[in-house]
């Protein structure tokens, strides 16, 4: 992956704005530690930071080409991987294109030259890119179907700024960090953020599966992909074999790299399937044993407490899976001290409020992975695609007239000051988003009852919740120059499994039946039968105490940016309400961390409330 940035303005000359573009691009340096490049013209300035993964010598960016000799340049800045670039290259060469490098970047550029914006429909992968077309005086911003790779923009009269992360736009003097009270619900629960929105005023994100087009006439957004409901004609055996074939094909495609590659391995079903297939691929191709990685916390032997979402620790299962597939495994153990030390860097990586210890421990894990691997495959998104979370099997959560993933946990917006709640109406916001998402979902005529509701529940989980997980994985990995690939986000697999009825998805009576049945011969029984256990959280009493103390200090601090927005007397009620088991959270510190992180974010970024 890489970092992209740029500035288009139809009313001013940008050819002398190299210093400003340089600042925007330099802000993304961790995403691309290997190289950087700038391209400037009268109305467009394009920057790039490169993490070299394929064709180390030949894939420098921004990359430019012309439609004909003497024509205006078409300039690409691109982040991501197009896994079918070799097939596209063959097709382009058959159409007369002459490509000079082995990179997927050049394939993307020539695909645009051949097919225009519709080229994205031919691409399989995870990507975010910008194309400036001098002849047509237009900028295209393009994002992959599931939104694995981020792309933000700020529209202003006459022009637009864009970047892989908000920090590129924050580095530009035309943008000021401001927010509205209406953003508080999404700050306190990022999973409630509508696609394309951010908490900052006038900062948007290209929505997954969309193209944003800027011309002198204005800005337009086009959707090129969405999940479509279709009848599922395959029986169970055929469905299981299709899932197996798809996952095998996808993992094999994602093993292509000219740099060291490993996998994340928690010992859960999802990551173990990916790691097993990756290990087989390496053996069949005569490569060294696969490197695998997991994370745990110092003191977990005594501190860990089982919860609904985290019933067991990963360590024993990761070790068992690694031994079974023959990988070289490393468990990264994070102490309270290392986690505290990592928190500032995790916050800087975010630009938006951090997830606290969940971000910090992942940053530590990825830093360790980056010591020996430049690319890592992950099992992320299998729970959303195949149905793995406990709330999918909790009747009250499933049939609640809201997002099932909210479960039975406390809502932090309930502890906003009464006058703030009356103005922003967070429960109404939640309902509006819920109904808007369902209204936009493709349903199957005649589908009723649990089957119809579970289609909705899975769709809702593939919106805000999946976006939060992918965003965290992108930010923490790219902060250390690590590319993380997510096979279960391949749109071909998602489209197929999306239309498998719920009763077939739970054919063996539990979560993720299809995935378990498809790879029953690849994994040891304890790993295969292990219940869902989410990414580890720390149960350190010292860390929990620090978070609670920090929240009490925040509530008492009249200088806090949240002063006047929180119900100070209700903070103790929030602490008490958080101290009970839920379907979602690990402990009170986990529940309440957003209060602390929003306060710190507003202070550090100087965010003002309008």
pTM: 0.96
Contact between 2 and 52 (Cβ < 8 Å): no
Report the pLDDT value the prediction gives residue 35, as an integer from 0 to 100: 84
Q: In angstroms, rounded to a whole number, what is the distance separating the alpha carbons of residues 602 and 594?
A: 12
Helix, strand or coil, per DSSP, at residue 24? helix
Report the pLDDT value the prediction gives residue 54, as an integer from 0 to 100: 67
Report the pLDDT value the prediction gives residue 2, as an integer from 0 to 100: 87
* Cβ density class 198-235: b for 16+ within 10 Å, e for less: bbbbebbbbbbbbbbbbeeeeeeeeeeeebebeebeee
Q: In angstroms, rounded to a whole number, what is the distance separating the alpha carbons of residues 328 and 322?
A: 7
Contact between 175 and 181 (Cβ < 8 Å): no
C-alpha neighbours within 13 Å on the C-beta side of residue 28: 35
Between vectors from CA 125 to CA 73 and to CA 272, what angle results, nearest 5°?
Answer: 155
Residue 2 known to be catalytic: yes
Place of tokens 């169970």: 236
| Beta-bridge mates of residue 138 | 133
Helix, strand or coil, per DSSP, at residue 82? strand
Q: H or E element: which one contains 328?
A: strand 328-334
Cα dihedral 487, 492, 498, 502 in deg (nearest 10): -70
Angle, in degrees to the nearest 10, between helices 491-498 and 236-253: 170
Q: In angstroms, rounded to a whole number, what is the distance separating the alpha carbons of residues 257 and 475?
A: 21
Report the pLDDT value the prediction gives residue 407, as an integer from 0 to 100: 83
Kindly give the parts of the chain with pLDDT less than 50.
Answer: none
- DSSP strand E in 360-439: where? 375-377
Report the pLDDT value the prediction gives residue 572, as an integer from 0 to 100: 84
Place of tokens 């899932």: 243
Q: Of residues 2, 20, 489, 610, which has the active-site annotation?
A: 2
Of 592, 580, 593, 597, give the one whose Cα is nearest residue 305. 580
Burial (CB < 10 A; 0-12, 13-18, 19+), residue 26, is middle
Q: Where exactly does CATH 3.40.50.620 map onto the chain?
A: 236-387+461-529
Contact between 74 and 55 (Cβ < 8 Å): no
Q: Where exactly does CATH 3.60.20.10 map onto the chain?
A: 2-223
Q: How far is CA 351 from CA 180, 311, 476, 601, in A?
A: 17, 32, 12, 8
Of 217, 321, 273, 225, give the one whose Cα is nearest residue 519. 273
Handedness of CA 550, 552, 558, 561 (dihedral sign): positive
Of 594, 224, 248, 601, give the one whose Cα is nearest residue 416. 594
What are phi and psi for residue 76, nearest 5 degrees?
-115, 135
Domain 236-387+461-529, what fold? Rossmann fold (3.40.50)
Report the pLDDT value the prediction gives residue 478, as an integer from 0 to 100: 96
Q: In angstroms, rounded to a whole number, what is the distance separating the alpha carbons of residues 233 and 244?
A: 17
Q: In angstroms, rounded to a whole number, what is the distance separating the alpha carbons of residues 276 and 341?
A: 34
Burial (CB < 10 A; 0-12, 13-18, 19+), residue 453, is middle
Q: In what side-by-side order are the strands of the sheet with 375-377?
A: 328-334, 291-297, 261-264, 375-377, 483-485
| Beta-bridge mates of residue 160 | 8, 155
446: alpha, beta or left? (left if phi > 0; alpha if psi -120 to 50)? left
Q: In what side-by-side order are the strands of the sheet with 125-133?
A: 63-66, 73-82, 125-133, 138-143, 210-215, 218-223
Contact between 98 and 34 (Cβ < 8 Å): no
Q: In angstroms, rounded to a whole number, what is the distance separating the alpha carbons of residues 144 and 123?
A: 9
Query: Pairing mode, if any, of strands 73-82 and 125-133?
Result: antiparallel
Place of tokens 């994340």: 264
In CATH, the architecture of 2-223 is 4-Layer Sandwich (3.60)
Q: In angstroms, rounded to a whole number, what is the distance separating the alpha carbons of residues 391 and 405?
A: 6
Question: For 559, which DSSP code?
Answer: T
| Beta-bridge mates of residue 5 | 47, 163
Cis-peptide into 477, omega within 30 deg: no
Angle, in degrees to the nearest 10, between helices 588-605 and 357-370: 80
């Amino acid at each position: 992956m890489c970092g992209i940035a740029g500035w288009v303005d139809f009313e001013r000359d940008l050819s002398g704005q190299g210093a400003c573009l340089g600042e925007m691009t330099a802000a993304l340096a961790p995403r691309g530690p290997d190289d950087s490049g700038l391209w400037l013209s009268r109305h467009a300035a394009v920057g790039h930071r490169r993490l070299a993964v394929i064709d180390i010598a030949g894939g420098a960016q921004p990359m430019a080409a012309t439609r004909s000799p003497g024509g205006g340049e078409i300039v690409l800045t691109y982040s991501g991987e197009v896994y079918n670039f070799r097939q596209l290259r063959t097709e382009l060469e058959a159409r007369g294109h002459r490509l000079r490098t082995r990179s997927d970047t050049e394939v993307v550029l020539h695909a645009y030259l051949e097919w225009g914006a519709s080229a994205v429909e031919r691409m399989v992968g995870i990507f975010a890119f910008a194309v400036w077309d001098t002849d047509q005086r237009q900028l295209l911003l393009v994002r992959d179907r599931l939104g694995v790779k981020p792309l933000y923009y700020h529209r202003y009269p006459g022009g637009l700024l864009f970047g892989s992360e908000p920090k590129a736009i924050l580095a530009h003097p035309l943008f000021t960090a401001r927010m509205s009270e209406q953003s508080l619900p999404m700050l306190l629960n990022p999973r409630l953020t509508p696609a394309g929105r951010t908490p900052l005023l006038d900062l948007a994100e290209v929505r997954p599966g969309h193209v944003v087009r800027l011309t002198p006439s204005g800005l337009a957004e086009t959707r090129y992909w969405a999940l479509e409901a279709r009848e599922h004609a395959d029986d169970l055996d055929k469905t299981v074999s299709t899932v197996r074939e798809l996952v095998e094909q996808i993992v094999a495609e994602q093993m292509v790299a000219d740099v060291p590659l490993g996998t994340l391995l928690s010992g859960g079903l999802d990551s173990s399937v990916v790691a097993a297939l990756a290990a087989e691929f390496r053996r069949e191709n005569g490569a060294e044993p696969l490197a695998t990685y997991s994370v745990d916390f110092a003191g977990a032997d005594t501190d860990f407490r089982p919860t609904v979402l985290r019933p067991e620790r990963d360590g024993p299962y990761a070790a068992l899976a690694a031994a079974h597939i023959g990988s070289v495994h490393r468990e990264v153990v994070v102490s309270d001290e290392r986690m505290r030390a990592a928190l500032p860097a995790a916050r800087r990586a975010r630009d938006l409020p951090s997830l606290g210890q969940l971000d910090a421990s992942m940053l530590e894990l990825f830093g360790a992975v980056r010591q020996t691997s430049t690319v890592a495959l992950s099992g992320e998104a299998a729970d959303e695609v195949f149905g793995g979370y406990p709330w999918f099997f909790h009747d009250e959560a499933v049939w609640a007239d809201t997002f099932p993933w909210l479960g039975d946990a406390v809502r932090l917006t309930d502890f906003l000051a009464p006058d703030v709640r009356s103005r922003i109406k967070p429960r109404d916001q939640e309902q509006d988003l819920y109904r808007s998402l369902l209204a936009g979902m493709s349903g199957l005529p005649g589908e009723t009852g649990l089957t119809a509701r579970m289609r909705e529940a899975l769709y809702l989980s593939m919106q805000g919740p999946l976006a939060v997980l992918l965003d965290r994985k992108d930010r923490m990995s790219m902060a250390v120059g690590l590319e993380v690939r997510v096979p279960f986000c391949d749109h071909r697999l998602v489209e197929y499994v999306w239309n498998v009825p719920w009763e077939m998805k739970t054919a063996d009576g539990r979560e993720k039946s299809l995935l378990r049945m498809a790879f029953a011969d690849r994994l040891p029984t304890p790993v295969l039968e292990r219940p869902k256990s989410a990414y580890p959280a720390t149960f350190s009493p010292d860390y929990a105490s620090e978070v609670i103390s920090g929240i009490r200090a925040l509530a008492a601090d009249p200088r806090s940016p949240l002063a006047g927005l929180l119900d100070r007397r209700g903070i103790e009620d929030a602490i008490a309400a958080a101290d009970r088991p839920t379907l979602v959270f690990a402990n009170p510190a986990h529940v309440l961390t957003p209060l602390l992180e929003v306060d710190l974010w507003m202070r550090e970024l100087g965010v003002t409330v309008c």
